[in-house]
Structure 1
Amino acid sequence: MSNKASSQSQPFDPYEYLQIVQSPDGTLTCSIEYPKAPPTSDPNLLIPVLTKDVTINESTKTWVRLFLPRRTLLSSHGSNSNHKLPIIVFFHSGGFICASAATIVVHDFCVDMADNVEAIVVSVDYRLAPKHRLPAQYDDAMDALYWIRSSQDEWLTKYADISNCYLMGNSAGANISYHTGLRVAEDVDHFKPLKIQGFIFRQPFFGGIKRTDSELRLENDPVIPVSTTDLMWELALPIGANREHEYCNLRVGNGPKKLDEFRKLGWRALVSWTGGDQLGDRGKELVQLLDEKGVQVVSDFHEEGCHEVEYNEPLKAKQLLGLVKGFISS
């Protein structure tokens, strides 16, 4: 997740571009500060969405930020309404190496999503690479689902329909959503009464050794250059693995075979991507793979728009959230 752009025409130094230095213990020191937003759960405040943080695993120090539309809380007082909201389990971007559920752009997007889609959003703060390499992030995602399944948190027990759950992520978060789905599909009964109904993949972060047309065309993309995503994969994949690993390449490993379960379970998918993103062809590849497997997929492609454009252009965010709302309500 970059907060700067460049007009350079020469290849980027990814470490310099991301302003990171890797320490001997595997941690990253980043000179870019990603401002964070605190949670606010006071219902007396005139805010559209209430938020709070809850620890889900003490040993890994992972947590989630819950987003509850305030009008849901108010409408429940003095009424006998049994209407409950769908759950969107959200995984943030950042190439597996940076950002968090508290990062302001992530927080603000989830606020808008909870308010406009009319859903309870569970934004997962997962561990980061390279200190915690893949599949640690998938493990944390599974912990989040286990926590939702059995949680006695009032916001979930009173207002959430855990039988109407969607996994969503942008960029690396979309990758986490996908691989988490592959895991859940192997034993869905274990998660009851939580039921996944579908997936929302926004500008999904996948890769491979062979370059796609969009990667070649946008090699020095000022928002997310190819050398930067290469570095992210190098830092996130298991030590010794390259971009032909199943966590990175959609066509490698047992993932394609496991997608047969998506079809059998009736899971749907929304894939949204843009032509101004060097990862664009990876989104197209995901649509093709899902279609080949008979998974019901809604594809949303826009020629214009850079990576994470919804974080910087309110109109694009509004369009995306409208699409998400329609997908869930259908």
Structure 2
Amino acid sequence: MSQTSQPSQITDPYKHLHLVQNPNNTITRLHQVPHTSPSSDPTLPISVLTKDITINQTNKTWVRLFLPNKPIPTNHQKLPLIVFFHGSGFILASAGSTMFHDFCVKMVDDLGVFVVSVEYRLAPEHRLPAAFDDAMEALFWIRNVDDDWVTRYVDYSKCYLMGNSAGATIAYNAGLRAVEVVKDLEPLKIQGLILRQPFFGGKERTKSELKLENDQVIPLCVNDLLWELALPIGVDRDHEYCNLTVGNGLEKFDKIRTLGWKVLISGNGGDPLVDREKELAQLMEEEGVHVVKDFEDDGSHGVEYSDPLKAKKLIELITGFIS
């Protein structure tokens, strides 16, 4: 495609996402997202050890733990914890997907943190709030688990909830729930949210959605389909799970401020979702929440997974945020 030509209009969002719609409200995912298996063998030449642990056998939810593979002195300071939720529109991919696995490895390498990446249930087989419920179950699992890696190496007082795209929306909603049960989560103490290109919507189109209607990553018709598949049947995009100005979420910003949480909101000008991300930052700032904003003019949705320089910049940003 020449630089002057317009992106071709995507008219079939199912085809774009490699999905087939089934009559029973499920979907067949035709594209197998590349997957990486965990490895907890410390003798291997790998910088980060990983292992998967089941959280809820019935729901088939689990977590992948990421631990630095290097001797930690006996008088070591324990590691800050990042609880990570992967993106892909609530309907695709996994905590074991290679792109997300590799990014978590990079965070452990560069930030010196412990990462728990959460495998939550996918829509439309499990519509929202299933993913939000799974996020909270994961937080209570971390609080209660007797796993050697977690108990020996995690600093429970330095916990951050992070996600990209739909994963950032899950992290945000988990944060809204967590402010209501702060005492119950102790000794786990959330210090902030890291929201990378959070995925919100609404019936009324934003300027960035209209401007980037034919975006190659998340065109408007794909955006609409993702919400159609993720939201409870019979509701529209002005539901509180999608539209951040609906429901009682904004009322909880005061609690976030009182608890002293910081919120990092990061977005890109080439992403159709950017206006909603900026709206979230503004609404939080108006309530006195400590918001760190990072909005670049260029860059598409999910650019950090294809551009090593963007990934490096994002990790540098997170370094400053959690230090």
Same fold, judged at TM 0.5 (above) = yes
**Counterpart-to-counterpart distance in 2, 1:53 and 1:7:** 44
Q: 1:218: which partner in 2?
A: 212
SS in 2 for 1:298: strand
Q: 1:141: which partner in 2?
A: 135
Q: 1:151: which partner in 2?
A: 145
The aligned runs of 1:91-170 (5 Å cut-off) are 91-170=85-164
Alignment pair present for 1:258 and 2:261: no
Selected match of 2:266 from 272, 275, 278: 272
Alignment pair present for 1:239 and 2:236: no
**Counterpart-to-counterpart distance in 2, 1:173 and 1:110:** 13
Q: 1:208: which partner in 2?
A: 202
The aligned runs of 1:1-330 (5 Å cut-off) are 8-71=7-70, 74-76=71-73, 80-329=74-323
The amino acid of 2:264's aligned partner reads: L
Q: Deviation per CA, 1:169-208: give whole Å up to 9, x if none.
A: 0000000011111111112101011010000000010011
Q: Deviation per CA, 1:193-245: give whole Å up to 9, x if none.
A: 10100000000100111111110110000111111011000000011111000
In the TM superposition, residue 25 of structure 1 has moved relative to its aligned partner by: 2.9
**Counterpart-to-counterpart distance in 2, 1:29 and 1:107:** 23
SS in 2 for 1:149: helix
In the TM superposition, residue 9 of structure 1 has moved relative to its aligned partner by: 2.7
**Counterpart-to-counterpart distance in 1, 2:146 and 2:181:** 23
The answer (yes or no) to whether the contact 2:10–2:16 under 8 Å persists in 1 is: no
**Counterpart-to-counterpart distance in 2, 1:264 and 1:229:** 34
TM-score with structure 2 setting the length: 0.97
Q: Which runs of 4+ in 1 moved over 2 A?
A: 6-12, 24-27
In the TM superposition, residue 135 of structure 1 has moved relative to its aligned partner by: 0.2
**Counterpart-to-counterpart distance in 1, 2:221 and 2:265:** 24
The answer (yes or no) to whether the contact 1:12–1:225 under 8 Å persists in 2 is: no
Q: 1:3: which partner in 2?
A: none
Pairwise CA RMSD of aligned residues? Answer: 1.2
In the TM superposition, residue 18 of structure 1 has moved relative to its aligned partner by: 0.9
**Counterpart-to-counterpart distance in 2, 1:248 and 1:137:** 13
The amino acid of 1:51's aligned partner reads: T
The alignment covers a number of residue pairs equal to 319
SS in 1 for 2:318: helix
In the TM superposition, residue 322 of structure 1 has moved relative to its aligned partner by: 0.8
SS in 1 for 2:72: helix
**Counterpart-to-counterpart distance in 1, 2:262 and 2:120:** 25
SS in 2 for 1:75: coil
In the TM superposition, residue 317 of structure 1 has moved relative to its aligned partner by: 0.3
In the TM superposition, residue 61 of structure 1 has moved relative to its aligned partner by: 1.2
The amino acid of 2:55's aligned partner reads: I
**Counterpart-to-counterpart distance in 2, 1:251 and 1:57:** 32
TM-score with structure 1 setting the length: 0.95
Runs (5+) with no aligned partner, structure 1 = 1-5
Q: Deviation per CA, 1:50-74: give whole Å up to 9, x if none.
A: 1000001122110000001112xx1
The amino acid of 2:69's aligned partner reads: R
Pick closer, same or farther for the CA change 1:115–1:7 going to 2, 3 Å. Answer: farther
In the TM superposition, residue 16 of structure 1 has moved relative to its aligned partner by: 1.3
The amino acid of 1:300's aligned partner reads: D
SS in 2 for 1:250: coil
